[in-house]
Amino acid sequence: MGRKFFVGGNWKCNGTNDEVKKIVSMLNAAEVPSQDVVEVVVSPPYVFLPVVKSSLRPDFHVAAQNCWVKKGGAYTGEVSAEMLVNLDIPWVILGHSERRALLNESNEFVGDKVAYALAQGLKVIACIGETLEQRESGSTVAVVAAQTKAIAEKVSDWTNVVLAYEPVWAIGTGKVASPAQAQEVHLELRKWLETNVSSEVAASTRIIYGGSVNGGNCKELGGQPDVDGFLVGGASLKPEFIDIIKAAEVKKSA
Ligand SMILES: O=C(CO)COP(=O)(O)O
């Protein structure tokens, strides 16, 4: 089954009103492959979601960077999945390593969030990835398998899930995983899905890579057989994001 190339831009906690308008103008003017070839989703901070959604070209979509684990209510400072649905925000990023590390989000909590968001009708970019210490101790595959298991235990339909493998040591460090390193983990994840979920889910679920992706390294990474796209941080705020979207063409010609 074909897996459409997916390029996500995670703007994290960045941007002013003016900067956001400039990024949207840059995206709107870009010539990129068609929606049949690449799915593009940008994720501004919550406060900018409505303006980005209403001014962004219709072939690009928006994602929130998080949402609450259950129905909204007395949870000061949180934004619920229902609110995102109400505003027609189709996607949400969940389990980003920055939230896992800084806000102590556990594997179980992330699994609960993914299940709840899917049940409300959102599409989810679920993030997993090992720290440098875990990689150096040889536990990369065990760590990402445990993170994926906590999601798989609560999710039965994977149609609306994109799995983002983001090694923590590669995020914002300029230290990108080599294409071989990325491919190795993506293949392990696909095998894990095959064994523990189903061969259909393993074949159809997009597994994207995140961590210091830029205009220079995207083609080689995207050319790996089990790399189905990217989740881009820093470079998604810059014109080189367009080059990263265009890396989808490596799959078209493959
Ligand atoms: O965390 C990331 C995307 O979610 C990756 O960030 P960088 O591309 O800045 O390394």
For residue 172, how far is its CA from the centre of ligand 1 (angstroms)? Answer: 6
- The 10s digit of each residue's pLDDT in 81-92 is 999 999 999 999
Is 93 within 8 Å of 8 (Cβ atoms)? yes
Going from N- to C-terminal start, the domains of the chain cover 5-252
Does any ligand 1 atom lie closer than 6 A to the CB of residue 232?
A: yes
Q: Is the pLDDT of residue 1 over 60?
A: no
Best probe residue, ligand 1, of 6, 10, 214 (max atoms within 8 Å of C-beta): 10
Annotation says 194 is catalytic: no
pLDDT digits (tens, 9 = 90+) for 31-72: 999 999 999 999 999 999 999 999 999 999 999 999 999 999
Active site includes 249? no
The answer, yes or no, to whether any atom of ligand 1 lies below 6 A from the CB of 8, is: no
DSSP string of 48-94? GHHHHHHHS-TTEEEEES---SSS-SS-TT---HHHHHHTT--EEEE
- How much is the ipTM here? 0.99
Summarised one tens digit per residue, pLDDT across range 188-219 is: 999 999 999 999 999 999 999 999 999 999 99
Q: Which atom of ligand 1 is nearest to the CA of 235?
A: 8
From CA 254, how far away is CA 251, in angstroms rounded?
Answer: 5
- Taking residues 169-181, what's their average pLDDT? 95
Mean pLDDT score, 233-251: 97
Q: Which residues pair with 128 in a beta bridge?
A: 165
CA 49 / ligand 1 centre spacing (Å): 19
Q: Which fold has domain 5-252?
A: TIM Barrel (3.20.20)
